[in-house]
Amino acid sequence: MAQGFVYVLLNPSFPDQVKIGRTEKTVELRAKQLRTTGVPTPFLVVYDELVSNYEVVEDILHNRFAAYRTSGDREFFRVPVREAVRALQETAAAYKICNEAPLHKVEILSSIEQKYGSYLKQNIISIAIVQLTDICFLEITRLTYPKARDQIVERMDLSIFGADGGEMFPTTVPIQVNATRFLNELDDYDLIMTGAPLFTSEACNQIAYEWEEGGKLEQRRSR
């Protein structure tokens, strides 16, 4: 069985359709990959589920909405967004991954708070390293506003970081090793330059100034 994400995407250019698909990487990366010159607006991640067998879950959903498929070789369906999300939630329930287990997920919020303090975006309730068979990623969960029930989950594929010509966060090592490496070997400048969704815009500007104008970057290069 292949672990991965099944997702519902929406594009404002054709709001009467949703894309229901799957990916081994993060859904955010998949949405960016789908952006082409022929589509004037980017795809929006509406909802996703991490499941133990993403191929089966996707097939079930595609069969469920087969009558509403716009084309046999395309993953677009003319169904309401709410109905697509509900169907994904119902189907994924039987294929849940217990990603709270140490094998899959390490919570690092308290360590990040100690390291970066007021730089962090407000309402973050979880920052974790999640590791599956073929991917290691950063997962940030925050509330839409204080005391809200709705959550925003953002993920970042950590393969963007390299080390000595290879991956900095390989899935062949224990997840605790990768979590420690993330905390100890990356700095705030690394994170803003790769687009990690951790800091406020004001903090990003301050970090960039300290490194680029304040001399930190030059010190790093001279090591």
Between 217 and 9, whose confidence is greater?
9
- Residue 215 to residue 9: CA distance in whole angstroms: 42
pLDDT at 36: 74
Reading the block at residue 152, the tokens are: 């925003």
Q: Quickly state the pLDDT bin for 134 (edges 50, 70, 90).
A: confident
What's the mean pLDDT in 200-223? 82
Q: Quickly state the pLDDT bin for 149 (edges 50, 70, 90).
A: confident
* pLDDT tens, position by position, 73-86: 889 999 999 999 99
* Mean pLDDT, the chain, whole residue set: 89
Reduced to 3 states, what is the DSSP secondary structure of residue 127?
A: strand
* pLDDT tens, position by position, 167-190: 899 999 999 999 999 999 999 999
* pLDDT tens, position by position, 151-161: 888 899 999 89
Reading the block at residue 37, the tokens are: 């010159």
Q: Is the pLDDT of residue 92 over 90?
A: yes
CA dihedral defined by 144, 147, 150, 156, rounded to 10 degrees? 50
pLDDT at 29: 86
* pLDDT tens, position by position, 51-61: 989 999 999 99
* pLDDT tens, position by position, 31-45: 888 887 677 899 999
Cβ(129)–Cβ(136) below 8 Å: yes
Give the DSSP per-residue string, 167-184.
ESS-TTS-HHHHHHHHHH
Q: Is the pLDDT of residue 63 over 80?
A: yes
